[in-house]
Amino acid sequence: MKSKLVAMLLLAAPFLAPAPVAAQLRVDITGGIEAPMPIAVPAFPTAAVVPTPAGTTADLGRQVAGIISANLQGSGLFRTLGTGAFPVPGMADVQHPRFGAFRTAAAQALVTGFVTANPNGTLTIGCYLYDVFSEEVLLRQGFTTTPAGWRRAAHKCSDAVYSRLTGESGYFDSRIVYVAESGPRTQRVKRLAIMDQDGANHRFLTGGQSLVLMPRFSPVSETISYMSFANDRPRVWIYNISTGQQEIVGTFESMSFAGRFSPDGRTLLMSVTRSGNADIYAHDVESRRSTRLTSSNSIDTSPSFSPDGRRIVFESDRGGTQQLYVMNADGSGAQRISFGEGRAGSPVWSPRGDLIAFTRIVGGQFRIAVIRPDGTGERLLTDSWQDEGPSWSPNGRVILFSRTERNGRTTLRSIDLTGRNDRRIPTPLDASDPAWGPLLR
């Protein structure tokens, strides 16, 4: 089901064509040194202050602006002048902003909107974007949601603003699944957990009795794959988050691990061990049949599909040390793509197809790096002691990863593919093995 964002834009299209001015409002996120675009996000007003299960419409108006502010600021591309910097607008200001105050504050763009409680119990949240200098309206949308979904409306507004100003799709209305860790490292308790990409709506999916690793989202359903040591049988499982239903993948007698879905969600790639080696299998989710893709006398693991589903990047030590290889989806034509110093592992193909993120290991130091699928253009993005396990945002611009400090603490962090904007993702406990899910519909 396609995300339904466009009706109002289509209606008003003639008025929203970008003005042919010299300085079209646009953020270039392909790299280079940029000053973040100053953008104003005052609190969203409400026509009438009405209580809702999610708080009053006035409170929601402040919080929605706060979420949009945090999303845009957190992307590193914008410097938000937030809710505290401006008085709460009146409803009329949403349609006719008084741009003087925003110009004085040196904002280049303005995000505003409103919150309305509807008689049937739903909320309508408006989302407007203006070019402060030309006073042109660039975006005008609305979202109707149940009170429980109000944060998603703020994320969808953020995605619409980001998309309009960068020309790229956004990534804010999405979730992250990861492993929450606690206890001494010799008896670490690990639990699967899921949260919105901004850390809200956090909940645990498992209770910690079984060691669990490597959760990964299906791109098309409320399903994750993960590895569990339940009953001392380390296996990949598929788990439906909505229904709670789960099953072991395949009927392998030996260990299976490193599951990862194809872009259409119909295939689950994974590694299965065989006499001390490990091969990559493709498991058809519907028919439950598995096909072996590699058969060399080596450890082949960490498979990841290209976004067009035609190739797979994976990690193998068939050449002596762990390196990255790219093969066709049927297992043929494997070619090594990583060279240079040290080892390379845990590759993951960007949803944009242009880059593969991976872990570069040199002399015991683990760093997040990116490389083109043809093996050229390797760039190191991070420089800490042990960063590993990258995962891409839905728009292929931001990389999540796990950082271990020498004292054993593990945290989640993110970094742009340009190597800028290195940030911690807050979690209630220590954390590892993050996986970024798709944009929600």
Partner 1 sequence: MKRFAFPVIVLAGALALSACARKTDVLPPESWQAPPAPAEAPIDQPGTVPPVEQVTPTTLSGMQADMVAAAGADTIYFAFDSYGLDEAARAVLGAQAEWLVRNGSVRANIEGHTDERGTREYNLALGERRANAARSFLTAQGVDPGRLSVISFGKERPAVEGANEDAWARNRRAVTIVVAGQR
Q: Which of residues 57-96 bind partner 1 (CB under 8 A)?
A: 91-92, 94-96
Could you tell me which stretch among 60-68, 261-269, 382-390, 423-431 binds partner 1 (CB under 8 A)?
382-390
Residues 5-34 interacting with partner 1 (rule: CB under 8 A): 5-8, 11-12, 14-15, 19, 21
Q: Which stretch binds partner 1 (CB under 8 A): 59-67, 380-388, 392-400, 413-421?
A: 380-388
Binding string, residues 185-214; x marks residues near partner 1 by CB under 8 A: xxxx-x------------xxxxxxxxxxxx
Residue 349, both tokens? 């193909």
Cβ closest to partner 1, residue 12 vs residue 420:
12
Cβ-based nearer residue to partner 1, 32 or 119 = 119
Residues 355-374 within binding reach of partner 1 (CB under 8 A): 359, 361, 364, 366
- Minimum CB distance to partner 1, residue 177 (Å): 12
- Per CB under 8 A, contacts with partner 1 among 154-183 are none
Of 73, 246, 384, 421, the one binding partner 1 (CB under 8 A) is 246
394-433 binders of partner 1 (CB under 8 A): 404, 406-408, 433
Residue 185's alpha-carbon distances to 18, 107, 188, 362, 407, in angstroms, are 56, 48, 5, 24, 10
User: What are the residues whose beta carbons fall under 8 Å from the beta carbon of 155, sequence distance 6 or more?
Assistant: 67, 71, 172, 173, 174, 196, 197, 198
**Of 296 and 418, CB closest to partner 1:** 296
Closest distance to partner 1 from the beta carbon of 76 (Å): 27
Regarding 296 and contact with partner 1 (CB under 8 A), the answer is no
Least distance between partner 1 and beta carbon 192 (Å):
8
Element housing 336 (H / E): strand 335-336
**The pair of three-digit structure tokens given for residue 130, joined into one six-digit string:** 């203006």
Window 106 to 165, contacts with partner 1 (CB under 8 A): 116, 124, 126, 133-137, 140-146, 148-149, 152
In the beta sheet, which residues pair with residue 416? 398
Residue from 144, 140, 46, 138 nearest 89 by CA? 46
Query: Which phi and psi (to 5°) does residue 13 adopt?
Result: -50, -45
Kindly tell me which of 131 and 416 has the beta carbon lying closer to partner 1. 131
Question: Does an H or E element contain 74, and which?
Answer: helix 57-74
The string over 369-394, giving b where at least 16 C-beta atoms fall within 10 Å of a residue's C-beta and e elsewhere, is bbbebebeebeebbebebbbbbbbbb
Angstrom distance (rounded) from CA 189 to CA 229: 12
Rule CB under 8 A: choose which of 230, 250, 353, 379 binds partner 1. 230
Which residues, at least 6 apart from 233, have a Cβ–Cβ distance to it below 8 Å?
A: none
Binding status of residue 328 toward partner 1 by CB under 8 A: no
- The residue (of 322 and 393) whose beta carbon lies closer to partner 1 is 322
Number of residues that bind partner 1 (CB under 8 A): 104
Identify any residues that bridge with 369 across adjacent strands, giving them in sequence order.
358, 380
- How close are the terminal C-alpha atoms of the chain, in Å? 7
CB of 206 to partner 1, least distance (A): 5
